[in-house]
Amino acid sequence: MPNKSAALDDVFNALGDPTRRAVLARLCQGPTSVSDLAAPFRMALPSFVQHLGVLEKSGLIYSTKKGRVRTCYVKAQQLSVAESWIATQRSLWEQRLNQFDAYVKTLKPGETT
């Protein structure tokens, strides 16, 4: 059932864009203002802010506004959500591999194929 999770949808979709991954990577180095974040990209500011919106909606970042400056921060827990989904699948797969290995070992040599 955990595959029908809107949270995972949002997180993975957010990660599926190079601009957004770059922003996230940047934010892992420390909090940054919107325009500083935007500077490296040649993209109109409203477009860029849309990416921030996607990241924020996914829970991967959050932001606060003080005066006219909005500062963005990573929220690493949300990264773990994605990471652990993947890890779970990988472990399922490895488990199955091991079962298969075990099964193969029950066969006489040369019996595979």
Partner DNA sequence: CTGATAGTTAGGCTTATGCCTAACAAATCA
Partner DNA sequence: TGATTTGTTAGGCATAAGCCTAACTATCAG
- Residues in contact with a second copy by CB under 8 A are 3-5, 8-9, 11-13, 15-18, 21-22, 24-25, 28-30, 74, 76, 79-80, 82-83, 85-87, 89-90, 92-94, 96
Q: How many Å separate Cα 61 from the centre of its chain?
A: 11
Q: How far is CA 38 from CA 9, 77, 94, in A?
A: 25, 24, 41
One-letter amino acid at 3 equals N
Count of C-beta atoms within a 10 Å radius of residue 69: 11
Q: Which does 15 bind (CB under 5 to 8 A by kind): a second copy, DNA, none?
A: a second copy
Stretch binding DNA (CB under 7 A), from 22-30, 63-71, 80-88, 96-104: 63-71
Q: How far is the CB of 110 from a second copy (least distance, A)?
A: 23
